[in-house]
Structure 1
Amino acid sequence: MIGYVTVGADDLDMAEKFYSAFLPRLGYGLDVSREGLSYSIPMADGSAFLPPDFYVKPPYDGAPASTGNGAMVAFEVPTQAMVRDLHASALAAGGRDEGAPGFRTDYSAHFYVGYLRDPQGNKIALYCSSRSEPGRPD
């Protein structure tokens, strides 16, 4: 089980603007400290599962933040319409488009995804794979 994910950022103000454009709407709360940004989802009453926290911080070694080639963080979204809306909100908050929301022929018929880069260049996916949503029209 993944406990947390951390991405690096040199400009925490830009990072906060970008991530706060969509993470709170997915249930994440934000705590800002001298160490950086901490986004977390509170554990539901009676739940044994705690979703992983998501941290945005300057690198510990003091060197500039860099992105991983092939590294990506994906956030599950309840509906396809919300994928489109959150993707647009993140773009308006300083993100870069890496693939407009939609179906991909290489993925399953119900996998609907939009890709972004945050202001630092980290790759982010917003996806919905709900079978209660329309599938890819093959």
Structure 2
Amino acid sequence: MIAYVTVGADDIARAKQFYCAFLPALDYELEESREGLSFALPVKPGQAAAQPEFYVKPPFDGKLASAGNGAMIAFEAHSQKQVRELHTAALAAGGVDEGQPGFRASYGPRFYVGYLRDPQGNKIALFSSNPDEPGRA
């Protein structure tokens, strides 16, 4: 099980604007500190922490942040409609389109996904595989 994912950012304010455009709609809660941003799913009393957590921080080595070539973080949405809405919101908050929401022939018939890059260049996927929605024709 993955415990957490961290991406680097040189401009935490821009990163906050971008990630807050869609992560709260996926139930992630934000905690800010001197070290950066921490997003986590809420934990109910008696429940173990939901993983993975997602962190946005300046690089620890003090150098400029860079996006990983071939790296991508995917967040699961509740529906195809939510994928479209959150993709649009993330673009309006400083993201760059890397693939409009839709079905992809190379994936399963219910995998509905939109791709974008955050202001630092990290690749993000927003997807839904909701079995209650229509699949690819």
- Common fold: TM-score over 0.5: yes
TM range (shorter): over 0.9
Q: Which residue of 2 aligns with 1:17?
A: 17
User: What is the match of residue 115 of structure 2?
Assistant: 115
**Structure 2 counterpart SS, 1:94:** coil
- The 2-side partners of 1:106 and 1:68 are apart by 23
* RMSD between superposed Cα atoms in Å: 1.1
Does the alignment pair 1:66 with 2:57? Answer: no
What do the CA deviations read for 1:43-83 (whole angstroms, capped 9, x no partner)? 23554561211000000000000011110000000100000
Aligned to 1:125: 125
Cα distance in 2, alignment partners of residues 16 and 71 from structure 1: 20
Q: Percent identity?
A: 64
- Following TM superposition, the consecutive aligned residue runs of length 4 or more in structure 1 with deviations greater than 3 angstroms are 44-49
> What's 2:85 paired with?
85
Indicate yes or no: 2:117 matched with 1:102. Answer: no
Secondary structure in 2 matching 1:74: strand
What CA distance in whole angstroms lies between the structure 1 residues aligned with 2:122 and 2:48? 30
2:85 maps to 1:51: no
The one-character-per-residue Cα deviations of 1:26-45 (angstroms, maximum 9, x if unpaired) are: 11111111100011111235
TM-score by length of 2: 0.96
Shift of 1:25: 0.7
Matched pairs, number? 137
Compute the TM-score of the two structures, normalised by the length of structure 1. 0.96
> 5+ residue gaps in structure 1?
none
* Corresponding residue number in structure 2 for 1:5: 5
* Letter of the 2:36 counterpart: G
Counterpart position of 2:27: 27
- SS of 1:105's partner is coil
